[in-house]
Amino acid sequence: MQADPRLLTLMQWLSPAYPLGSFAFSHGLESAIRAGWVHDAQSLEDWLADLLTDGSGRNDAVLLRLAHAAPSPQALDDINATARALSASAERLREAERQGKAFARVTSPVWSIDLPDLLLPVAVGRAAGLLSLDPDITTMLYLQGFASNLTSAAQRLMPLGQTQAQRTLSRLAPLCQSLVTETANATAADLHSNTFLSDIAAMTHETLQPRLFQS
């Protein structure tokens, strides 16, 4: 079986080294840690698992897939508008806007595609669609990157060693894989969020002082 070299493109896009400024955003996790809701490896794993199964992580996967299959620019605009409406706070919207804009700014000239400024999951899905990259693999690697970025943020905010951090990501890997199957035929009607505490954390972060992260 010959390896698909296009996988390297996805690995490049979804690497922490890709210049999106992801290191500056905690997705409300900073507030959650300050409040004591997340305080060790197990509570971090539970928090991230909830985001992946019932919150913004799962919605990102659905939005990515919808953007990948968008039949027209108008449909893409509608998907992006839905993504904006789902943002639970001004900071969370700004997080997705800034990362999506940075993704488009780098990806468009390097891969010679016309990628407008979109929220991050929509931008990644659109770019993958334009380059005919596999939506299942794109979704799985996006979710793994989502969990990895937040785990890295947690390491800067609380006592969490390298081994514990990598163990957390390893335990979340099967969940990322299962979401690929779960969202394979998802539509906009499947978008929802039950992670209200995460939304509250995102809102309270707007007035949190002092703080390290922009969200």
Torsion of CA 141, 144, 145, 146, to 10 degrees: 120
Which spans in 69-161 are helix H?
A: 73-86, 90-111, 120-130, 135-157
The CATH architecture one would assign to domain 39-204 is Orthogonal Bundle (1.10)
Write out pLDDT tens, residues 150-180.
999 999 999 999 999 999 999 999 999 999 9
Please tell me the number of Cα atoms within 13 Å of 213 on its side-chain side. Answer: 31
| pLDDT at site 209 | 92
CB atoms < 10 A from the CB of 59, how many?
Answer: 23
Write out pLDDT tens, residues 80-117.
999 999 998 999 999 999 999 999 999 999 999 999 99
Name 29's Cβ contacts closer than 8 Å, sequence gap at least 6: 38, 47, 150, 153, 154, 157, 201, 213
User: From CA 51, how far away is CA 75, in angstroms rounded?
Assistant: 26
| pLDDT at site 3 | 64
Indicate the domain borders of the chain: 39-204
- Across the range 203-207, mean pLDDT stands at 91
**Residue 120 carries which side chain, given as an amino acid letter?**
L
